A and B are shown apart, each in its own frame.
Chain A
Amino acid sequence: MQSEEISRLIGKNTGITIYEVEKGAIRRFTDATGDMNPLYRHEEFARKSQFGGIVAPPGFFGWPIKKTVDSALLVEFPPELISALDKEGYPLASALDGGIEFEYFLPVRAGDILSATSTLKSLRERAKMVFFTMETIYLNQHGSKVATAQAQYILRQLAPATIGQESPHA
């Protein structure tokens, strides 16, 4: 990729995604990980805790930006980034999760309405691989920052013959 194109992409964002934190979604999330912590599922226990009610586990934040729509894989990336990478033979559907860094400021409570915006912070290409970092800021319905996440992604360039066939969500 040209360095001018990379600098053009830095700072592009997904726009705001709104997500309501439902008790049932918290339960399904913790069922899926096998985390039986009563703070996430036991009304009375949670009410008597420091949080005063059911909270979501740290890491629950995949949800607000990954909607269950056709393009589920792609709503977490700015459209300009998706098309630029696709053109270079890096379909985002094949992105690997490279790791994540969370900072938490406030608990996420059942019933909270979160808004999330993800911004491309950095991108580099090396040896037919692309590495990029998305920063997501999560606010609650009071406008307070509840968490930030820096997520790293890794993409491998596909051989030319397969480009255009491996991107079911494009």
Chain B
Amino acid sequence: MPEQLYWEDVSEGMEIPAFDKIATTQMLVRWAGASGDFNPLHYDAVFAAAIGTGRPIVHGALKRQWLIQLATDWMGAAGFLKKFSCQYRAMDYPRNMQTMTVPLAGETWHCKGKVIKKYIEGLAHQVDCDLKLENGKGEVTTSARATVILPSRNP
């Protein structure tokens, strides 16, 4: 883990360290098992075509989890995620597999965020952040807002 972030280190407008994610059909099956969401929309091409999405789509909840990780990686082990909300704005599609382990070329998403508000509520040193998932064309397909409690150097 990187060094712990403190509330005093944060300023409004500050960017949160970004990272990239990809999704493969294999990863979606894994997520289905781990999350308990077995909707065939995410791994069955015939079902997805019949339901109207054309082909299988990435689980909204997996995209949500990537943005939660963006916040929790940044806040560190001494932080606490107090609120998190997200909206799905567009569908995203996984990469198919080339071999058992190697995906074909396809979409890469950029998880990005910035601090929009820094304040004290009661005894809690808090920050609000806007987070987003951008596809390769720069379109935001998932947006989120997180409220994080950070440790203070002067509690």
List the interface of chain A (C-beta within 8 A of B): 25, 28-29, 31-35, 37-39, 45, 49-50, 57-59, 62-63, 66-68, 72-73, 93-94, 96-104, 107, 156, 162, 166, 168
A-B contact pairs, 27 of them (CB 8 A): A28-B34, A32-B35, A33-B31, A33-B62, A34-B66, A35-B69, A37-B1, A37-B72, A38-B1, A38-B77, A45-B1, A45-B77, A49-B78, A50-B80, A57-B69, A62-B35, A63-B36, A73-B39, A93-B39, A94-B41, A99-B88, A100-B64, A100-B86, A101-B84, A102-B84, A103-B83, A168-B40
Question: Chain B nearest CB: distance from A23 CB in Å?
Answer: 13
B78 touches A62 (CB 8 A): no
A31 touches B64 (CB 8 A): no
Partner of B51, one of A32, A37, A73, A94: A94
Docked Cα-Cα span, A35 to B35, in Å, equals 14
Most buried by A among B30, B51, B59: B51
B51: A residues at CB distance < 8 A: 94, 166
Q: CB of B37 within 8 A of chain A?
A: yes
Partner of A102, one of B21, B34, B60, B83: B83
Partner of A32, one of B34, B81, B82, B84: B34
Q: CB of B61 within 8 A of chain A?
A: yes
B33 touches A57 (CB 8 A): no
B87: A residues at CB distance < 8 A: 98-99
Number of B residues with CB within 8 Å of any CB on chain A = 39
Closest to A107 in B: B80
Question: Chain A nearest CB: distance from B92 CB in Å?
Answer: 12
A32 touches B88 (CB 8 A): no
B80: A residues at CB distance < 8 A: 50, 104, 107
